[in-house]
Amino acid sequence: MQIKELLESQGGVSKRWMVQQQTPNQPTIFTDAQENPYILTNVTVFPLALKPITKTPLKLPQDQLLNQIESTCGMLQINPKSIKYVNAPTRAELAGALVIVTDAKKKKHAFFKYFAARKPDEQGIYWSMTDFKNDTGIEWQQQRVSGTGPTKTKVAIKQLAVKPSNFPDLVTGSSVAPKAVPDIVYNTILDTTKNQELAEKLKILTLNTAVGKTTPVPGLGVYEHSLRVNFGEVVSPLALISGKLVGGQYQRVETDLLAPMGLSWKGAKAISYPKGNERLFDSIIYWPDGTDLKISNKAEGKGGAASTTSLYKTYLDYPERFASRADKLKLSGKYAIFMDVLAIAYKNKSLMGMLEIAEYLKLISGKEKTWIYDYVQSGSNNAKLLSPKLIKIRDQVTPKPGTQGVKAAYHLSSGLANLVVRTLNKDKNLVSEFFKFMLSKANLVQVDQYTQKQGDGLAFSQFNVQWPPHFPKSVLFDASDFQTNKAPGAKLAFKT
């Protein structure tokens, strides 16, 4: 049976309501801790009256805001006194979101959260699904499409916050001993979920992986996606150090990379995980002499575009790897533009970095850069403000049919990012050669992690090592994080 994840952005509660109104036969479903279902019934964002698009966020004095809430409750047939306010007002002028869900007995439940202001756009307020769960105790059930044709059904995906960054004691900036990881996992899960049974099961999964045991842990199968993709980054170093459940080029790394330095996999003594959103590697293994090896994970060999920022940071962190005369020549001359682009992306926030790259490539002027920045930051949907030149840049990208929440400003940023990438990738062979050279100089192995299910149980089954890192024919700049329906929040990337 084929299972395919729905390709849609989580957005927030407001965004889910916008999507649901377009596809009413696909309701947004939540469940509580007892697995009781709730259907999203309405989302109203306050203040109600939208002014013309402006940079100024919208807000009201609290008494006026409460009057609007009471008026809305009348129209929605909700008793204002039944609303659960999940936070307290903290200032004189405020905004907020009212969310109504309906349970299986047709009873409506209303939740309200205060925010500092409403943005002057369709979504208005971003109440993330994670925050909504923490605030209300009910959780959005993401879904997968299962099967094809008449057998197509939707299967709920249970999410767990199990990335390395979700375990504060793993991302302190210091390394930890491998044997400490199972207890860190247990203590963190217990502290964040108050679910001792779940904490114990994840500890068992961690211990099993470290000793090569593939007995599925009951009850974890429903979390397969989160565990395979995210928790795999946590446990991969344990499997590599122990030599259990490993395959691919694992032994070759031992004989060709580690042994000449007098090292072995089992001789590694510590692990660390990056503190931020590092997209080139997911963990680092250390030996007593200070040698380290970066691990880049891919769930079953699948992964997204990697940040060019992390690549440039690797170059800065390991100058000795570029010290020879040949390497200096390799990174000079015709390759200088790529190093300049990486430097700009590394030093700047996403949108400003992209605008500076576009100006550097002579695609826009300094004056246009300033205007575009203000336009995109405002989230404007007024396409009439665009000059003929900017319209041509915008039209580098055509939104996919059915895309919800497209904004003129975000469409422009997506078009500009794609124009930048198209310009940089004109000589595919040159770009690929540059990236492969840079990546080959990083102390890096790739690991593909796999899971297996039995009933409702789950276990990690294998960790395949690729070394030297496998690079396909083309490695090019990528702008997939710049989309037509959301503010640019990532930097220029590269993708194989």
Tell me whether strands 37-46 and 93-103 are parallel, antiparallel or unpaired: antiparallel
Question: Torsion-angle region of residue 104: left (phi > 0), alpha (psi -120 to 50) or beta?
Answer: alpha
481 contacts 457 by C-beta, under 8 angstroms: no
The whole-number average pLDDT for the span 392-396 is: 95
3-state secondary structure of 103: strand
The whole-number pLDDT of residue 471 equals 67
Residue where the block lists tokens 């499409």: 145
The whole-number average pLDDT for the span 284-296 is: 91
Residue 40: partners with Cβ closer than 8 Å, 6 or more residues away: 13, 16, 17, 20, 27, 28, 29, 30, 99, 100, 101
The whole-number pLDDT of residue 54 equals 56
Rg (CA), the chain: 25
DSSP state of 253: I
5 contacts 141 by C-beta, under 8 angstroms: no
466 contacts 434 by C-beta, under 8 angstroms: no
The whole-number pLDDT of residue 475 equals 82
> In this predicted structure, which of 196-200, 221-225, 299-303 has the lowest mean pLDDT?
299-303
CA 268, CA 146: separation in Å to the nearest integer?
42
The whole-number pLDDT of residue 367 equals 94
Per-residue exposure over 245-268, b if at least 16 CB sit within 10 Å of its own CB, e if not = bbebbbeebbeebbeeeebebeeb
Domain boundaries, the chain: 3-157, 250-496
Q: Please, what is the Cα angle at 77 between 73 and 83, to 5 degrees?
A: 50
The whole-number pLDDT of residue 489 equals 74
The whole-number pLDDT of residue 311 equals 75
385 contacts 375 by C-beta, under 8 angstroms: yes
The whole-number average pLDDT for the span 71-97 is: 92
15 contacts 123 by C-beta, under 8 angstroms: yes
The whole-number pLDDT of residue 6 equals 30
pLDDT tens, residue by residue, 299-337 = 755 555 566 777 787 788 777 777 777 787 777 888 889
Residue 173 has pLDDT above 80, yes or no: no
CA 252, CA 269: separation in Å to the nearest integer?
20
pLDDT tens, residue by residue, 17-51 = 888 888 777 788 888 877 788 999 999 999 986 55
Residue 445 has pLDDT above 70, yes or no: yes
Residue 449 has pLDDT above 80, yes or no: yes
The whole-number average pLDDT for the span 381-398 is: 94
The whole-number average pLDDT for the span 251-279 is: 87
Tell me whether strands 457-466 and 246-248 are parallel, antiparallel or unpaired: parallel
CA 157, CA 141: separation in Å to the nearest integer?
6
pLDDT band at 150 (very low <50, low <70, confident <90, very high): low
Whole-number average pLDDT of the chain: 85
Residue 4 has pLDDT above 60, yes or no: no
Report the percent of the chain where pLDDT is more than 70.
Answer: 89
DSSP sequence for 120-185: SSSS----BHHHHHHHHS-EE-EEEEESSGGG-EEEEE-----SGGG-GGG-SSS-B-GGGHHHHH
The whole-number pLDDT of residue 5 equals 30
